[in-house]
Structure 1
């Protein structure tokens, strides 16, 4: 099926914006100027015209397949500003769907957390690059000694640096389900052998460029996820968000110590609180998570803002300029 949008095939194409209940509660703002296309966990898409979409990032935060009722102030601005920074920095490696972050077609009520982007035919693959072993990759390694079919040395542990970055693609899951790690052969069966190789090579080139920049800023880019689409002429284009705290693991380099979970610039603080006795929430239950306390909100916001300011060297208060 051809999907013309610029967000995740799983989180957008199969999730209409006017869906009742859960999706309705996640809507950022009703933009009368444009037709709503889809609503995801964090973003909404609106059709601007036949060639463009408006991608709006909210302050919502998701954890353990739930969208929490408590927003994180400025999170949408961080995701948007950080994506723009990286799209511009990576422009010599690959074209992106970004048209503008400051355009008359962007309504004032979402300015700073919305991007005007090109419509693309998105490829149904989560393109993940890993330079360190963590998360689902660590779990798979412990079971098989491999990640997505890539053999790894014995003796690696939590947060071990890999001998070289690896491409570990995943399928795009439906809302409420988990992405599934797959092999390069599985990707080739979906998009063709040549395209699969292009996705692997491009993903690793982008990761290596971004990881080197992050190192100069005192930050480790442990892993990250990219989504790609095709322009009308078949050119591969970088879409969705890119190298944000929601799509990447960023660790402070001065606190790095393999063999344990690393402090990170993302929503891990939210996850940790939800699974702590203090929250009183049972993850295995059907009960939605409780509201976040003020201190968790403030600490999470601080992590997102610090990620942006450390990586870019810019002050978030200046966004959008």
Structure 2
């Protein structure tokens, strides 16, 4: 089946992110996960077959398992009123009908292991987002305890890591304290479940919003797009880990000669299929179910 790169619903306002098409239903939102894939802040010209369906199924699994207030109401796109001309086929299996929330402008990142921008920052000053860490840690080491390392939400380019005190300045002490506690709780519960399935969750990025005076978990949650998933049986600190994400895309792009400043090249079919297989393996391992 060809990747779904964009969805259309005539008459409905839409906001398109790197992966999701978000339609305004009035009282609710319709979040449609496309098969688009991004790397190095560019959206690739071709997508990964079934990626959006995998992300949606995995998010729904976590929303159910975590038992925290969240925005997901239903996955049944046939239950909502849409113009008669709309083909619901491309929407099925990749759509979430969600509560509207006032999104907090902070990326709530929790790290249990030292990799990515955290590893880079640690090597510079032995701390991540102002959280001081023990000396002598290696790449991908497990941290003594999970740490909360917020970042700003940027419309384009990379999110910017900030300290907790900077987060307090932006959104206030009480909200910052709540988000830290909620995010660490989500990570700990998810990481514990994942380990029983042979998967390490190295870190994850969460989004929260206000709804009826309460903070609820929004967007996608604990997918290969928003988290680092590593096979536990292949984990070895001191090096980069094999992972269930877009590593094949990044590696191919690094070797392709692309300058990262001009529109990216089309991904070869084998790279797209290998990436699909990794996303699918993450879904099957974590949920015990196939697509």
TM-score of the superposed pair, with normalisation by structure 2: 0.94
- What is the DSSP-based 3-state SS (H/G/I as helix, E as strand, rest coil) of the residue aligned with 1:301? helix
Match of 1:171 among 137, 152, 169: 152
Match of 2:271 among 296, 300, 303: 296
C-alpha distance in structure 1 between counterparts of 2:201 and 2:119, whole Å:
16
Match of 1:123 among 96, 104, 107: 104
Aligned to 2:9: 31
Q: Is the 1:27–1:44 contact (alpha carbons within 8 Å) kept by the matching residues of 2?
A: no
Q: Is the 2:5–2:46 contact (alpha carbons within 8 Å) kept by the matching residues of 1?
A: no
Cα shift readout 1:64-106 (whole Å, capped 9, x = no counterpart)? 0110001100000011000000000012xx2100010014117
Match of 2:191 among 168, 192, 211: 211
Is 1:133 aligned to 2:107, yes or no?
Answer: no
C-alpha distance in structure 2 between counterparts of 1:53 and 1:243, whole Å:
20
Is 1:68 aligned to 2:44, yes or no?
Answer: yes
Q: Is the 2:54–2:283 contact (alpha carbons within 8 Å) kept by the matching residues of 1?
A: yes
C-alpha distance in structure 2 between counterparts of 1:297 and 1:165, whole Å:
33
C-alpha distance in structure 1 between counterparts of 2:132 and 2:266, whole Å:
42
Cα shift readout 1:247-274 (whole Å, capped 9, x = no counterpart)? 0000000100111110000001110110
Aligned to 1:19: none
Aligned to 2:75: 101
Cα shift readout 1:36-65 (whole Å, capped 9, x = no counterpart)? 23110100110112x200000000100001
Q: Is the 2:15–2:21 contact (alpha carbons within 8 Å) kept by the matching residues of 1?
A: yes
Cα shift readout 1:97-121 (whole Å, capped 9, x = no counterpart)? 0010014117343010010001000
Match of 2:57 among 81, 85, 102: 81
Cα shift readout 1:105-157 (whole Å, capped 9, x = no counterpart)? 17343010010001000000000000000000011111111001000001111
Deviation at residue 35 of structure 1 after TM alignment:
1.3
Aligned to 1:268: 247
Q: Is the 1:27–1:39 contact (alpha carbons within 8 Å) kept by the matching residues of 2?
A: no
Deviation at residue 27 of structure 1 after TM alignment:
6.3
RMSD of aligned residue pairs (Cα, Å): 1.3
Unaligned runs of 5+ in 2: 83-87
- What is the DSSP-based 3-state SS (H/G/I as helix, E as strand, rest coil) of the residue aligned with 1:35? coil
Cα shift readout 1:166-224 (whole Å, capped 9, x = no counterpart)? 0000000122x111111111111111101101100110000000000000000000000
Is 1:59 aligned to 2:40, yes or no?
Answer: no
Cα shift readout 1:266-318 (whole Å, capped 9, x = no counterpart)? 00111011001xx23223xx3222111111011000000000010000011xx
Q: Is the 1:45–1:53 contact (alpha carbons within 8 Å) kept by the matching residues of 2?
A: yes
Q: Is the 1:218–1:253 contact (alpha carbons within 8 Å) kept by the matching residues of 2?
A: yes
4+ residue segments displaced more than 6 Å = none
Unaligned runs of 5+ in 1: 1-25, 317-321
Match of 1:155 among 136, 139, 147: 136
TM-score of the superposed pair, with normalisation by structure 1: 0.85
C-alpha distance in structure 1 between counterparts of 2:171 and 2:259, whole Å:
40
Match of 1:47 among 24, 45, 52: 24
C-alpha distance in structure 2 between counterparts of 1:142 and 1:173, whole Å:
24
